[in-house]
Amino acid sequence: MSIFTSKHILLCVTGSIAAYKAADLASKLTQAGALVDVILTPAAEKFVTPLTFQSVTGRKAFTDADLWGGEAHVLHVGLGQAADLLAVAPATASTIAKLAHGIADNLVTIAALAARCPTLIAPAMDVGMFEHPATQENVHTLCGRGVYFAGPDEGRMASGLVGRGRFVEPAELLGHIRLTLGFGGKLAGKKIVVTAGGTQEPLDPVRVLTNKSSGRQGYAIAQAALDAGGTVVLVAAPTALIPPVGARLVPVRTAEEMKEAVLAESAGAEALVMAAAVADFRPKKTAADKLKKRAGIPPVDLEAAPDVLLSVKGMKSNRPRVVVGFAAESRDLLENAAAKLKSKTLDLIAANDISAPDAGFSVDTNRVSLLFANGDRESLPLMSKAEVAEVIIDRLSGLLEKN
Ligand SMILES: Cc1cc2nc3c(=O)[nH]c(=O)nc-3n(C[C@H](O)[C@H](O)[C@H](O)COP(=O)(O)O)c2cc1C
């Protein structure tokens, strides 16, 4: 189940040229499982119609005509109180000013004042309007009240001006909304370090020894930890993936860099989840110049790469309270995973059989067995990597409660 499932999002659309992008956001939220109620200000109605939103959400979109229509009893209070999150997207300078000062003169601003849920604001305006001291003071006031701001981004605006004021793109805004929905979850206030991707060990300036890890399982774990409210650091070897909104990315390339970053980041962290595929071997020497074909096939001598989990085991102090590892095996899965659990003093290991075509590297699904330090075992059915990640984060939270 995704964090969006059955969540009530009150999407308030105001009179910005970016209002058309809110329809895409409403659609994305609905597809993710949220129940999206939309309110348009009178100015927003000049840009987009309620019908657009009704068509993508399957729910009624409200305007000021409904405020004075008297069909629903005290509509603004009902909408505000039903919401898990109120998102003003796009938010004009005018509406931001009204929210900062408690002005309630249309259905959006009245509902915002009546709501008791977290508020997210995604501003959209010209750079001059955003940088104006009046707007800056209003933003400051709202931030001080715990309102979460997504953007604005830098870039080119409809006016042709370039600067800060662009509406955050809907796909990224979805990540910000997801992040705010997770606030206060069971990992709130807890630092969780997650590693992902396959390390690259250089042979020369252009060639590397690497593996088939796509990073998807590690990124899904980072997302699940964010959904649970965790403060997430994602130590990632190169991947083609976009980091989840809210995760602090620490990019690394080699096993050595991964080790250094993990030791630095996991000191004092609550938990470390090592989902990265770290090289076991690396070329003994890295050629300073590109190896030339005409020089013939070069001999490649290998040496052991640093063992990140053993380095974590050897930490003198501030070791993470819970350490979770992964074992990707092509044979004797459970025996190998159990041996790794013990030798690296892990609290939990997720064992996945990479010989199966629907599990392991580069696919969206995984079939994982969980082995706990106390001897408990749990075999999970074939699941999406996002679902596997949710289970691992749930079990990790349980271990943090016990430890
Ligand atoms: C074509 C056009 C585009 C506008 N775009 C923006 C905008 O991107 N951001 C903004 O703050 N105001 C913008 N405005 C001005 C607002 O629509 C105006 O301040 C309005 O009163 C806002 O009302 P509302 O905040 O209740 O929706 C625009 C106005 C027009 C005519």
Q: Judge if the beta carbon of residue 16 lies within 6 A of ligand 1.
A: yes
CA pair distance 307, 286, nearest whole angstrom: 19
The confidence score (pLDDT) of residue 70 equals 66
Q: Judge if the beta carbon of residue 40 lies within 6 A of ligand 1.
A: no
Domain at 8-182, CATH homologous superfamily? Flavin prenyltransferase-like (3.40.50.1950)
CA distances from 206 to 70, 135, 203, 278, 289 (A): 69, 49, 8, 19, 9
CA pair distance 159, 223, nearest whole angstrom: 36
Contact 93, 59 (CB under 8 A): no
Q: How far is ligand 1, taken at its centre, from the CA of residue 47, in Å?
A: 10
How many other C-beta atoms can be found within 10 angstroms of the C-beta atom of residue 290? 11
CA distances from 391 to 197, 383, 396, 402 (A): 20, 10, 8, 17
The confidence score (pLDDT) of residue 71 equals 65
Cα atoms found within 13 Å of the Cα of residue 35, Cβ hemisphere only? 8
Dihedral angle of Cα 222, 195, 149, 183, to the nearest 10 degrees? 40
User: What average pLDDT does this structure show over 194-204?
Assistant: 97
Range 157-165, long-range pairs (CB < 8 A, 24+ positions): 157/126, 157/127, 158/17, 158/18, 159/126, 161/126, 161/127, 161/128, 162/127, 163/126, 163/127, 163/130, 163/131, 164/127, 164/130, 164/131, 165/123, 165/124, 165/125, 165/126, 165/127, 165/129, 165/130
Beta bridge partners of residue 198, listed in sequence order: 277
Report the nearest-CA residue for atom 28 of ligand 1: 16
What class is the 191-402 domain? alpha beta
Report the nearest-CA residue for atom 25 of ligand 1: 95
The confidence score (pLDDT) of residue 211 equals 92
The confidence score (pLDDT) of residue 362 equals 61
Cα 194 versus chain centre, distance: 12
Secondary structure class of 78 (helix, strand, coil): helix
User: What average pLDDT does this structure show over 166-184?
Assistant: 95
Q: Judge if the beta carbon of residue 370 lies within 6 A of ligand 1.
A: no
Report the nearest-CA residue for atom 4 of ligand 1: 16
pLDDT of 75 above 90? no
Output the six-digit token pair for 160: 């042709």
CA pair distance 319, 315, nearest whole angstrom: 6
Measure the CA angle with vertex 229, ends 224 and 234; round to 5°: 55
Q: Is 403 a catalytic residue?
A: no
The confidence score (pLDDT) of residue 72 equals 61
- Per-residue model confidence as pLDDT tens digits over 246-293: 999 999 999 999 999 999 999 999 999 999 999 999 999 999 999 999
Contacts of 100 (CB under 8 A, 6+ apart): 137, 138, 139, 141, 142
Supply the mean pLDDT for the chain: 93
Contact 273, 195 (CB under 8 A): yes
Determine which of 17-31, 171-185, 194-208, 322-336 has the lowest per-residue pLDDT on average: 322-336
- Per-residue model confidence as pLDDT tens digits over 39-50: 999 999 999 999
Atom of ligand 1 nearest to the CA of 158: 8
User: What average pLDDT does this structure show over 147-151?
Assistant: 96
The confidence score (pLDDT) of residue 355 equals 74
Q: Judge if the beta carbon of residue 320 lies within 6 A of ligand 1.
A: no
Q: How far is ligand 1, taken at its centre, from the CA of residue 95, in Å?
A: 9
Contact 228, 189 (CB under 8 A): no
How many other C-beta atoms can be found within 10 angstroms of the C-beta atom of residue 102? 9
| Domain ranges (residues) in the chain | 8-182, 191-402
Q: Judge if the beta carbon of residue 17 lies within 6 A of ligand 1.
A: yes
Query: pLDDT category, 1, cuts 50, 70, 90?
Result: low
Contacts of 370 (CB under 8 A, 6+ apart): 348, 349, 350, 351, 377, 378, 379, 380, 391, 392, 395
SS3 of 257-283: the string is: HHHHHHHHHHCCCCEEEECCECCCEEE
- Per-residue model confidence as pLDDT tens digits over 98-147: 999 999 999 999 999 999 999 999 999 999 999 999 999 999 999 999 99
Contact 189, 268 (CB under 8 A): no
pLDDT of 28 above 90? yes
Domains 8-182 and 191-402 share a fold: yes
The confidence score (pLDDT) of residue 43 equals 98
The closest of 275, 252, 247 to 264, measured between CA atoms, is 252
Reported pTM? 0.90
